[in-house]
Amino acid sequence: MNAALARFFTFVLTRRWWVLAAYAILLVPSAFLAARVGQDNSIDRLIVDTDPDYVATREFEKVFGAGEFALLLFEADDPLASGVIERVDRVERRLAEIPNLTANSALSVYRRARAGFEPTAEGAAAFREFATGTDLFRKQGLVGDRYFAVGIVIEVEGSDDRIAKLAEIDAALAGVEADLGPVQEIHRLGQPFVNAYLDETQRDAWHYFVVFLAFVIVLNVTLYRSGTALAAFLVTLGVCLAMSMGYIGLTGGMLTIVSPMVPMTILVTATATLVYIHSRFVDRPPGVPLEEHHVHALVNKFVPCTASIFATAVGFAALMVSDIRPIWDMGVWVAVGLVLCWIICFTLFPALQSVLRTPTQGEREIAGRSFERFAAWLPLFTYRWRWELVISFLVLSVLGAGALFGVPGLVQPMRILTDPVEYMSPKSELYRDIRRLQPMIPGLSVTQVWVKGDLGSMSEPEVLSGLHAYQQAMENDPGVGSAVGATTILRIIRYLSGAGDAWPTDPEAVEEAAAELEGFVGMEPMLQRFVQPHELAQSQLTVITRTAEHEDFVHLEEAVQRHWRETVAKYPALAGLTIQMVGLTPLHAKMAQNLVPTLVESFALTVVIIFSAFFLVFRSGTARLMAMIPSLFAILVMFLVMRLCGITLNIATILIATTVLGTSENDQIHFFYHFQEGRREGTVEGALRHTLLVAGRAILFATLINAGGFLAFGMAELPPIWQFGFLAAVAFVLSLVADFTALPAALWILLRERPDPEAASQSLASAATSQESGPAASRS
C-alpha cells in the first residue's frame, strides 16, 4: 500500500500545475453554486413535514386559514383615551392595506358595527363605553389597564416574505411612532417577530469565519513562520469552503439556525488535517532530498488523516437518523464536505506546497522547539502520577454523567429548552418586551382545538351551547389565559345588537343565535376563522396561554381532553363530535423535544462507527478502547461545566456531543497510530516519546485550531450559538488535557511497564541540547 501511495503522491507533485489548473476550473461553478445558498433561521424549519401533528395542522389550516399570530401593544396610562384611539385607528387603516394580513381589535369590531366611525372626542367616548361595557375584550387580552392590543394574523411564505410583511407593519406604525402623543410606546410581540429576529441575527454569521480566518493566520505565522505556508493554507481552506458550500447549493439546500456549525466544522477539520500534514512535512531530517521527504511525509500521514476524516464524516452522517430536516441536512453536508476536504488536502495542498516552495525546518526553524523537552518529561510524569491521574479523570467523568443524567433524589436530569424566546439575547429589546409584558397579557402561545362533526352540526343549538360551555371551561383553566371560539363571536354580535354579552339560556334565544351563525358565517371573515363557512361541520377554539415548554403543552393537551370529556357528560349533543389539538406553537416545542432521542441515537451510532474505524486502523484491542477515553471524558465533563454554569440543552448545545466526538477523535487516531509505530520495537516510554515528537506538536496546535474555531461563535448574539461555541472549545481543551495525561497514565497501568531512568535522563539531556542547538535531528 505504501508503494502505491508513494507513486500516487509522486504523480501529484510531478503534475502539480495540472492539479492547480483542475481546481481553478472547478472553483468557478463551486463559487457560483455556493452563492445561491439561501438562509431561513425560523423555528418552523425544525418541523418534520411527515409528523402526524404537522399533517393535522396543515389540514386544519386548509379549513380555517394559516398564519402567524402577533400583537401590537399600545402602552398608555389611559389606553382608551381619544389620543390613543385616534392613533390606533390610523394604524389599523394602514394595516388593512397590507395583503394577507388580518388585524382585529375591539376598535375594529366596533368600526364594523358602527359604520362611519371617526376617532373624534365624541366617537372615542362612545367607544370607551362600548369597550368597558363587557369583559369579552379584556378576557381576550385586547384591552388592559395600561394597554390596548391589536391582534394580527400574517400569512407568510418563507423568511423573505415574513421580513417584507414586517417591514410593511413598521411602515404602518412609522407615522404614529414619530408622534406618540399619550401613547408611551408601541410594542411588537409574537411569533413572526421572534422568527424575524432569529433570522436577522444569524445572517451575520460570516463574522465568525472572519475571526476564524484571523486565528488561522496568527497561528500559522506563529507556528511555521512562513508566508508561503500561510498562502497554501488559505487557498486550500478557501477551496474546501467553496466546494462544500457549492454542494449545498447544487442540492438546493437552505441554511438554518444550526447551519453555521456546518462550514465551521468543515473548516476546523480541514485546518487540523493541514496542520498534521504540514507539521510532518517541515520535519525534514538533514540530508534527505526535499522531494523524497515530501512523498514520505504524505504517505506517513495518509492513513491517520484518512481514518480521522472518515470517522468524523461518518460520525456526522449518523445525524441522518434524524427526521428533523435541518439536522439531517447538517449530517449529510458535513459528511460530504469532509470527503471533499480529504481529497483537496491530499491533492491541492501538496501541489501548493511544491509550487510555493514552502520551507522545511532545515531552511526555517518552526515554533514549539521547547516541546521536545516536554516530550522527554511527560512519560515520567504520567508514570509517577498514573493512578492519581486516572482516578481523578474517572471521578470527573462520573460527575459529568450525573450532571447529564441526574442523580435520583438529588439532581434532576438535564432538560432541553424548547421556548424560542429563550433562544434570543436577553439584551434585545424584543426579549425584554416579551418578558416584561407577558404577565399583563393572556399569553403569546396560540393553540387550536379542532372540533369535527357531521354536515351542519356546528349550527345545532344544543351543540352551540355545549361549545360555549367548553370554551368557558377552557378559559377558566388555571393554565389558560384566554379561549376564543365561535360562541365568543356570537356573543359579541349579540352585545352589539343590545342583547347583552352573555350566552343565552332560553331555548328560543339559542335558536336565534344558531340562525345568526348560519346567516353571518358566509359574510363575516372573523367568524369564518372559527366555523367552516358552508358545510358547518367543523369549528375551532383558539386557546392562548403562556405555555412555552414541551412538558407544559403535554399538560395543556391533558386539560383540553379532560374538559371535553366533562363537557360531553353535561351536553350529550357533543358526543358525536371529535376534537384534536393542533397548531404550530406546540409543534415547535415537540420538535425541539424530539431532538433528544434523535441525537442520542446518532451519538450511539457515531460511537459504534468510530470504534469500527479504530478496529480497522489499530490492531491492538487496548488501543481501540482507550482511543475513545479522551473524547468521552471531555464530553462528560463538558456537561458538568454546563450544569455549573447554568447552561441548558437547546437546539445548538444538544449537538455538541456528536460534534466533539467526531472532531476530537482525530487527535486520538494520530496519537495511537504513531504510538503503535514506536511500540513495534520499543518500550512504552519510547513509544510515548516517539508519539509526542512526531505528532504531539501537531495535536496541540490542531486542538487549538478546533477550540479557537468554535470559540468564534462566542461573538454570536443568540445564546444557543455562543453557548455551543464556548462549550465546544472547553471540550476540545479537556480532550487535549486527557490526551497528554490520562491516556499515557492509563497505558502505563494497562501495559504494566516501568520507565528506564537512564534512558529518561539521556532523553532529557538530548532534548535540552537540541533546544540550545537548533533544529532537531531525524525523527522517524
Grid cell, residue 687, equals 513509544
Query: What is the reported pLDDT for 368?
Result: 55
- What interhelical angle do 719-740 and 697-711 show, nearest 10? 170
**pLDDT of 771 over the 50 cut:** no
Q: How does residue 775 score in pLDDT terms, banded at 50, 70 and 90?
A: very low
- Summarised one tens digit per residue, pLDDT across range 346-362 is 999 999 999 999 998 76
Model pTM above 0.85: no
- Summarised one tens digit per residue, pLDDT across range 460-472 is 999 999 999 999 9
Backbone angles phi, psi at 342, to 5 degrees: -60, -45
Q: Give the Cβ contact number of residue 646 at 10 Å.
A: 6
**pLDDT of 631 over the 60 cut:** yes
Q: What percent of the chain clears pLDDT 70, i.e. is strictly above it?
A: 91
**pLDDT of 773 over the 50 cut:** no
- Summarised one tens digit per residue, pLDDT across range 391-400 is 999 999 999 9
Kindly list the distances between the CA atom of residue 75 and the CA atoms of 143, 333, 452, in Å, as whole numbers in the listed order.
10, 47, 39
Q: What is the mean pLDDT of residues 178-196?
A: 92
**pLDDT of 119 over the 90 cut:** no
Q: How does residue 303 score in pLDDT terms, banded at 50, 70 and 90?
A: confident
**pLDDT of 208 over the 70 cut:** yes
Q: What is the mean pLDDT of residues 691-703?
A: 87
**pLDDT of 613 over the 70 cut:** no
CA dist 542 and 582 (Å) reads 10
Residue 292's nearest CA partner among 11, 10, 12, 3 is: 10
Q: How does residue 205 score in pLDDT terms, banded at 50, 70 and 90?
A: low
Helix, strand, coil fractions of the chain, as percent rounded to 5 = 70, 10, 25
Grid cell, residue 67, equals 398564519
Are β-strands 445-452 and 68-75 bridged in parallel, bridged antiparallel, or unpaired? Answer: unpaired
Query: What is the reported pLDDT for 211?
Result: 84
Q: How many residues does the chain have?
A: 780
> Between 107 and 721, where is the model more confident?
107
CA dist 556 and 549 (Å) reads 11
* C-beta separation of 713 from 724 below 8 A: yes
Query: What is the reported pLDDT for 780?
Result: 37
Q: Give the Cβ contact number of residue 441 at 10 Å.
A: 22
Q: What is the mean pLDDT of residues 230-242?
A: 95
Start-to-end C-alpha separation, the chain: 19
Kindly list the distances between the CA atom of residue 648 and the CA atoms of 255, 403, 417, 631, 727, in Å, as whole numbers in the listed order.
24, 11, 7, 21, 11
Q: What is the mean pLDDT of residues 55-67?
A: 89
**pLDDT of 182 over the 90 cut:** yes
Q: How does residue 779 score in pLDDT terms, banded at 50, 70 and 90?
A: very low
Are β-strands 185-190 and 147-154 bridged in parallel, bridged antiparallel, or unpaired? Answer: unpaired
74 strand-pairing partners: 148, 186
Q: What is the mean pLDDT of residues 235-242?
A: 96
Cα of 474 vs its chain's centroid, Å: 34
- Summarised one tens digit per residue, pLDDT across range 358-388 is 998 766 565 556 778 888 899 999 999 999 9
Query: What is the reported pLDDT for 571?
Result: 96
Grid cell, residue 663, equals 472532531
How many distinct helices (H) and strands (E) make up the chain? Answer: 33, 10
| Sheet order of strands, 445-452 included | 482-484, 538-545, 445-452, 578-582
> Between 326 and 735, where is the model more confident?
735
**Range from 126-135, 244-253, 620-629, 699-708 carrying the lowest mean pLDDT:** 620-629
- Summarised one tens digit per residue, pLDDT across range 455-511 is 999 999 999 999 999 999 999 999 999 999 999 999 998 898 888 999 998 999 999
CA dist 159 and 256 (Å) reads 11
The DSSP output letter for 693 is I
Q: What is the mean pLDDT of residues 626-645?
A: 87
Q: How does residue 570 score in pLDDT terms, banded at 50, 70 and 90?
A: very high
